[in-house]
Amino acid sequence: MKLVKKADQPVNPHFNIYRRRRPHYEIPGRIYFCTTNASTEKIFSESERDTILESIYFLAKRDFKLHSCVVMPDHLHLLIEPHLVGASEAVPLEKIFHSLKSFTAHRISKGPRGHIWQPERDDHLIRDEKEFYYYNQYLIENPVKAGLVEKSEDYKWLWYEGIEVVQEDGTDSKKGTGEDAGATSE
C-alpha cells in the first residue's frame, strides 16, 4: 500500500508518514514506544547488552529524550521523545534506529559478519498519559515476565526515569534520574 496525496487535500507539514515494510507515523514533539528485534536466532550476550545500553545512552544525549528502555536477550524496547530540530521537525525515528543498529552491529560483530538486527522496527505513537504509563509499565515489567529476574530493578539492562513503578507483587520502586541516561529537561 502506498499513501498518495490527492490534489485537493492540504499537506500537514508537521505530520510525516513513510513506509518500509510497515507504515510509520511521526509527529514532532511526541513520545514513541519502539521495539526492535535481534536477527533470527541471535541472543545478545551480557557484554553485547552492555554495548547496546551504552549506545542508547550516547544517542539519548544527541537525538532524543529517553524516558525508559530495556535491552532483552533478543530485542529491545525504548520509550523516547525525539529532539526537535527547528520549529516543526524532529530527529526522525528512522535516523535514530539506523544510528543505533549500525553502531551496535559494528561494535558487536567487529566487522561484516552478518546482521545482528532485523531490518524493521515497531513504533507506537503515544496518544496520552494513560498510554505513556501503560507502555512504560510494560517495558519495566518485561524482564520479570520473561523470567529473567524476580524484580525489575534487579535487571541490569533496564533504565527508566525516576518515576514510581508498581511491581506485580505490589511494591514500589524507583530507578534512574534522567541525567545518567543523557536525558535533557526542557
What is the DSSP secondary-structure string of 30-84?
A: --EEEEEEBSTT----HHHHHHHHHHHHHHHHHTEEEEEEEE-SSEEEEEEEEPB
Question: Is 156 inside a domain boundary?
Answer: yes
Band (pLDDT 50/70/90 cuts) for residue 100 is very high
pLDDT tops 80 at residue 153: yes
Question: Is 8 inside a domain boundary?
Answer: no
Question: Is 157 inside a domain boundary?
Answer: yes
Question: Is 142 inside a domain boundary?
Answer: yes
Range of the domain at 31: 27-173
Band (pLDDT 50/70/90 cuts) for residue 168 is low
Domain count, the chain: 1
CATH number of 134's domain: 3.30.70.1290
Task: Tally Cβ neighbours within 10 Å of residue 36.
Answer: 18
pTM to 2 decimals?
A: 0.77
Question: Is 150 inside a domain boundary?
Answer: yes
Question: Is 109 inside a domain boundary?
Answer: yes
